[in-house]
Chain A
Amino acid sequence: MSDSRATLHAVLAGLGQAVPSHLPWPRHVLDRASWRQLIDALGHRRWPLLGLWADGSTVHAALEDHSAAAFAVASLDTEDGTYPSLAAARPAALRLERAVRDLAGLNAVGTPDDRPWLDHGQWRLAAPLAADARPATPRPATDYRFLPVEGEGLHQVPVGPVHAGIIEPGHFRFHANGETIVRLEARLGYTHKGTEALMRGKPPAEAVRLAGRISGDSTVAHALAFSRAVEAAAGIEAPARAHWVRATMAEWERIANHLGDIGGICNDAAFPYLQAQCTVLREKVLQACAKAFGHRLMMDAVVPGGVAVDLAPEQAAAFAGLAADLLPPFEALCRVYETKGSLLDRTVATGITPRAEIERFWPPGPIGRAAGAGRDARLAPGYPPYDELNFAAPRLTAGDVDARVRLRMEEVRHSVRLIQRMLVAMPDGPTRAEVPPVAGEGLALVEAFRGEILGWARLAPDGTVARYHARDASWLQWPLLETAVYDNIVADFPLCNKSFNCSYSGHDL
């Protein structure tokens, strides 16, 4: 235990028994004393926290050991409904623990923040995911203590949940000194729909429709995370061709969203020309996807066991044509961005994610990779077919709005090239396997356009979903937005926010 070079697997093996039915990475059952030992171990190790969720009275924490490219889950059966908080060792746990309390009624002891998070006092049930969920006692939604700010000449700017644009609802509380932001605190949870509770008891083929609506812009990635978690739990592998069709969908989804984001950021920097052009390219992608898979956003196309729609040869040819046609106009737009001083003046050195905070939260996706951190789940742990495609994830270091734009531009190029290679290398064969009705537990890590999604499924003996938890990348990115806007002007917030483009629905569940 005292050996600081011990890997995550070695440390967890020393703390508790591994559960045999948990795939593909181990899950260790800890007791309260060894959970505390784990917290101590986290204090002098860099293992990022990937997720924290509850299943009944058990709390699970997913951890990563980047030096060994290892992943594992630590679990504690709370017995009395409490568990020692991880938040002091891993700040990313803070909001996850608040969500666990709101949803499952389990309390983190020693948490520095005991305010509710997703529960605004409006739900019909209290602790809806707990075994003994009871009718809730309503309380006013405004009954929420924002963090205090003290100082002369400060003023508050409350924004939301209804915003000026066509965007999702969330509340932002700014404290500003003149124009300069001295604190931003977000309050989220407005789009909480009880998705995880609705998934319980449903056969995976039905529950995947809800998974595909956790965050509509990442419908392919969320359906994929769910499907891979269910496949791991059931101990099956999707047919080879299904992996390639899924990845083709996932890369088009990434391209479409990045095009929307690049345009949106430029629009928020008062340069609507690039947005207009990006939306035209995005529309071409969506129309091609609608032709190939029957839905513009490709909802309900990925299912447990494979895909619902195979890629027809003529649609594959259409995709190849689109991939070739997309890059020349896109490169022209990138050149406009790179040569417009008025635009770069807004994006360069704006909204820098502080290095210290990056190492506290390890934000996934473009937010992390634009700041020199951030793993790409397609490469590590990796999953088919990406393990057969030799590629590298682009990475930048500046961590400002400009880096987040350029990183997305580079990812669009990468994804187009990946699609071109996949269309050539795609094997023939079946595209859907039967998911047997068996019990099991499965964990999946899938790279959405926004970053890594963690999906964890527990199947009941009849094969229905006993519990599914999805941790969207947004959970680990929202807290960084609050620190990235510090010392920026209030007017640059939309620009910073768009450059993060965190999901509200994906976070609120």
Chain B
Amino acid sequence: MLKQITRALLSRPVTIDGPAAGDAALKELAGKVDALAQKRLGRSLAIRAIDAGSCNGCELEIHALNNPIYDLERFGIRFVASPRHADVLLVTGPVSLNMQEALLRTIAATPAPRFVVAAGDCACTGGLFAGSYACAGALESIVPVDLRIAGCPPTPLQLLEGLLALLAASAGKMPARP
């Protein structure tokens, strides 16, 4: 163990440089974050992840955000256990009807101002499960969505770009559009 710690202290960090905030994400967020939200949220976001029927592929990549390579927390973004502590609801899956009630209750338990983010193709459009007897489909068909991060599943870098755009928007730092 000591050998391991010594080696870790002497070697360079494995963490990669963060990507720039996603352009498409910034465009989608423009005008959605009001002054009140900017004042309240600042440069830190607490995320509550909700699996609304995903295949667990998205969860694996969301998990990867916490590994030392992507190291989400260095940006001031962290996952929290309770919706009451959350600023962002990161929703995955095609909203299986069996999860719909739990999803709506979790959103209702999250104080405003809050962002709802659809992560992955299923949450964005229903994905391959659109039209199923057991799914509501796109998340925005049941709640307003602030940001969509596409991908099946989105890679950690794509998730990071989206979340950094959200951070920029909530801090009132929306770059001027060309």
Contacts and interface: CB of A to CB of B under 8 A. Distances in A.
A70 interface: no
A194 B94 CA distance: 11
Q: Which of B50, B52, B60 has the most CB of A within 10 A?
A: B60
A166 B98 contact: no
Contact of A276 (B67, B97, B129, B152): B67
A120 interface: yes
A296 B155 contact: yes
Contacts of A195: 129, 132
A273 to B, nearest CB: 8
Nearest to A300: B152
A508 B52 CA distance: 13
Nearest to A206: B128
Interface string A349-379: 0000000000000000000000000000000
Contacts of B162: none
Given A340-B1, A505-B56, 20 more contacts: A123-B97, A133-B133, A141-B98, A141-B101, A162-B102, A169-B52, A169-B99, A191-B99, A192-B134, A193-B134, A194-B134, A198-B131, A210-B128, A215-B55, A216-B56, A216-B58, A216-B59, A282-B64, A286-B64, A339-B1
Interface in A203-240: 209-210, 213-217, 219
B155 A194 contact: no
Contacts of B67: 276, 279-280, 282-283
B122 to A, nearest CB: 9
B1 A193 contact: no
A191 B98 contact: yes
Q: Is the interface of A mostly helix, strand, loop or mixed?
A: loop
A161 B99 contact: yes
Contacts of A120: 97-98
13 contacts: A123-B134, A124-B97, A193-B132, A193-B135, A213-B57, A215-B56, A279-B63, A279-B64, A279-B68, A283-B67, A505-B55, A505-B56, A508-B98
Contact of A283 (B55, B62, B64, B82): B64
Interface in A258-289: 260, 276-277, 279-280, 282-283, 286
A159 interface: no
A217 B57 contact: yes
Nearest to A263: B67
A40 interface: no
B10 interface: no
Contacts of A162: 50, 83, 102, 106
B87 interface: no
Interface residues of B, number: 48
Contacts of A508: 96, 98
Q: Is the interface of B mostly helix, strand, loop or mixed?
A: mixed
A216 B14 CA distance: 26
Nearest to A193: B129
Q: How large is the interface on A (under 10, 10 to 19, 20 to 34, 35 or more residues)?
A: 35 or more
Interface in A300-349: 332-333, 336, 339-340
A282 B66 CA distance: 13
Contacts of B81: 164-165
B54 interface: yes
A193 B153 contact: no
Contacts of B58: 216
A309 B66 CA distance: 30
A266 B134 CA distance: 36
Contacts of B22: none
A193 B65 CA distance: 26
A214 B55 contact: yes
Contacts of B60: 216-217, 260, 297
Nearest to B57: A216
Interface of A: 118, 120, 122-125, 128, 133, 141, 161-162, 164-169, 189-195, 197-198, 209-210, 213-217, 219, 260, 276-277, 279-280, 282-283, 286, 290, 296-297, 299, 332-333, 336, 339-340, 503-505, 508
Contacts of A279: 63-64, 66-69
Interface of B: 1, 3-4, 14, 49-64, 66-69, 79, 81-83, 93-94, 96-102, 106, 128-129, 131-135, 152-153, 155
B97 A122 contact: yes
Contact of B93 (A124, A191, A283): A191
Contact of A123 (B69, B83, B128, B133): B133
Nearest to B15: A280
A216 B54 contact: yes
B49 A191 contact: no
B53 to A, nearest CB: 4
A177 B79 CA distance: 32
A191 B97 CA distance: 8
A508 B56 CA distance: 12
A198 B57 contact: no
A214 B14 CA distance: 33
B135 A164 contact: no
A125 B101 CA distance: 18
Given A193-B129, A217-B60, A280 B68 contact: yes
